[in-house]
Structure 1
Amino acid sequence: MMVQLPVSAPARLRSLVARTPDATLAIVHRGPHAIYVALPGPDAFCTGVVGSAATAVPCGLRLATTTVAPLTGEHAEIRGGVLQVDGVALPVRRVVDAAVPRLMRGPVAGDPAAGIDPGVAAELTALDLHAERLDSLLGRGGGLTPLGDDVVCGWLALHHSVRVATPWADDLVGRARTRTTTLSATLIECAAHGEVIPEFAAWMAATEADEPTRAARLAAVGHSSGSGLLYGARAALTHLHRKAAA
């Protein structure tokens, strides 16, 4: 009998995995806290298996343990709509909410980089963010989730939260698949669907009094990912506020 390790996952991810045909999967990344694989198909949706010490990405199957041990990510496949890693089945037993909440406070005035580490803030400023040229940010920066992509995710998720249509989002998601990492392109798609990490959701749901504390928690995610998300969302808020005032 195959060993099972139950996981939790957002509803859309559970459905994506369940309807994926049986296949051997490419390993995108493996480490002590997370393993990422690419689902078959033209979109190469990146699915993670993440421990609680890893960022709870909306494309991740979440373990109750801190690390992904005893999994090492040597082999992954889909069988009967269930992801299997190293011969261990990972059935989804609980659905978690990854939806971005509605923003109930007013726009945050001032510098989008406020409260962000100065070194990361300098990198963000150097990206030269323009609403009409978001695709120029794709793939900018190093790592599994380049900083420019994190900014794009924050921008898209904020628009989804305040119910402002982004008819160009599908084109942006399509371009991301050829211009950045598989994981980062998947997270951009998730953001376009309004799916975010818990720290971003908590920042969105914060009152004006709680905003600085929750912003600091978001900015602390990863090396710079949380800062990029925060910067992109704040910049989008400022942009929308200026458009409304014009």
Structure 2
Amino acid sequence: MPASRKVNANCIAVKRSIKFLVIHAAQNSPAPLCEKMFKNTFQSGFLSILYSIGSKPLQIWDKKVRNGHIKRITDNDIQSLVLEIVGTNVSTTFITCPADPKKTLGIKLPFLVMIIKNMKKYFTFEVQVLDDKNVRRRFRASNYQSTTRVKPFICTMPMRLDEGWNQIQFNLLDFTRRAYGTNYVETLRVQLHANCRIRRVYFSDRLYSEDELPPEFKLFLPIQKPMTKSTNQAICN
């Protein structure tokens, strides 16, 4: 049966420094001209960029693995195939979309939604957007960070995931406006790091209730399992 419960996100303080990949400043400002993957795609409703059940779930993604693994497995809670990303260091095991570093997504839909399972380990994801000042901004959410920090080209923030499966809803329009006082134009890149399991990653034109979602965008729990916190909605603050 479908499960849906909204939970406000709080920070979890973890006193450990995490090394991140150094991203060249040229990615920030101004934005160079790149080929947009979804430029000619009609963007309305839902636009999926990863579905774990698909024949080639990472077809448009690149992956980096060091001291870890990225593989498709069967999750016991939902009895279905999911993508698992596990690594000893979150910065060295991840997937990124588009696969070609010279391309961008060019997705204008303002809501990023990810169906993610909490592995009870460090987890982070990053979204790069373009604003109306033609500046690239990055938003990084982590479950080990305790405070929000806004710098000219990157905003880092805490994220709390409940036990089991979570639905992360990321309002790119609102975050861009609140962090930088500019308007969101489009998403350029999405990067998901260890440690997590992924069911689907998609964009939408607005937030949809569980009843409004197409069946393939819902997360179904086996009928024999009781309803628990397995599917929650984590909202980054």
TM-score (norm 2): 0.26
Greater strand proportion: 2
Larger RCO (CA within 8 A; separation ≥ 6): 2
TM-score (norm 1): 0.26
Which of the pair has more CA radius of gyration?
1
Greater helix proportion: 1
